[in-house]
Chains A and B, each alone.
Chain A
């Protein structure tokens, strides 16, 4: 039976690393889903993506967070990375929905839910101002390495 929800690749870190890359992503799917289970040794840091090695000021974000005391919202514009979450020294789970990633007509919108029980719950919407199909994803942070055991899985969703 043809698979609608296909695991494309998984990376589990055997030692700490500054980044993880998924490359040569097939254009055969409709959406991508990046599922990440992350931890670091040092504390609060940014969970970042770059598409197709683009480091230009082509990314932006609108955030909604709850930290147990207050609800907050913030924004980032003309950024060089797609900021879609946080990494902490306790485990975080992050699910990034990358919608219509393979079309070559529209800008790309992602939407993310992230949870860290010790720190916050977060929802983000991001924009990558490029009409190029996404063929690679670089996952990184601002300051600290991902710890060993952090896992990243990329899924492809195929619409009828």
Chain B
């Protein structure tokens, strides 16, 4: 989960950082109808997105997907989830997003979903692209934790990421935040 040889030391700043913050979006008053990261440099080995998300979908919960380079078709995804009573699994062989993250919806007051998305070898033009996600939201009596994976037959380097609500929510709510990090190889 983004821990690649991190020194457990209280000394910082004197070594080249392997984990760089690239871009951050914090949603302001009125919400955001879309959130994207663009012009992603190709100098890193992997990317990680860390997000804290609520959409305006009219329920306690919703789901969020990720798209690469404005590609809207051809994604595959599988997931494993727990929702308090039983575990479950799903698979989608033709999706419009890579990976499906469980987030909070508009009805859950003050609660935001946690999402961590790892995108491996994102700039390697010899490989199709693969993601791993860990996400969830708990509402003190309901909620879900989810692990999922996704892929797409896309060998181009990823230069942009877009996030969308999968249930028809039209905006991400104020205080939602999305942060993109680059992880360097050796």
Interface residues of A (CB under 8 A from B): 1-10, 30-31, 33, 35, 60-66, 71-75, 77-78, 95, 97, 99-100, 103, 105-107, 109-111, 113, 123-127, 129, 131, 151, 153, 155, 157-160
Contact = CB atoms under 8 A, between A and B. Distances in A.
Interface string B32-75: 00000000000000000010100000000000000000000000
- By Cβ-Cβ distance, the 4 closest A-B pairs, closest first, are A64-B82, A125-B136, A73-B82, A75-B84
B80 A64 contact: yes
A95 B3 CA distance: 10
Judged by DSSP, the binding face of B is strand
Contact of B52 (A61, A99, A125): A99
A3 B153 CA distance: 35
B83 interface: yes
Contacts of B9: 7, 10
Which one of A8, A106, A151, A153 has the highest number of Cβ atoms from chain B below 10 Å of its Cβ? A106
A160 B145 contact: no
Interface of A is mostly: strand
A92 B82 CA distance: 21
Given A62-B145, A124-B145, A99 B114 contact: yes
B81 interface: yes
Contacts of A60: 138-141, 143
Given A4-B17, A75-B141, A62 B8 contact: no
Given A1-B17, A62-B136, A64-B87, A159 B24 contact: yes
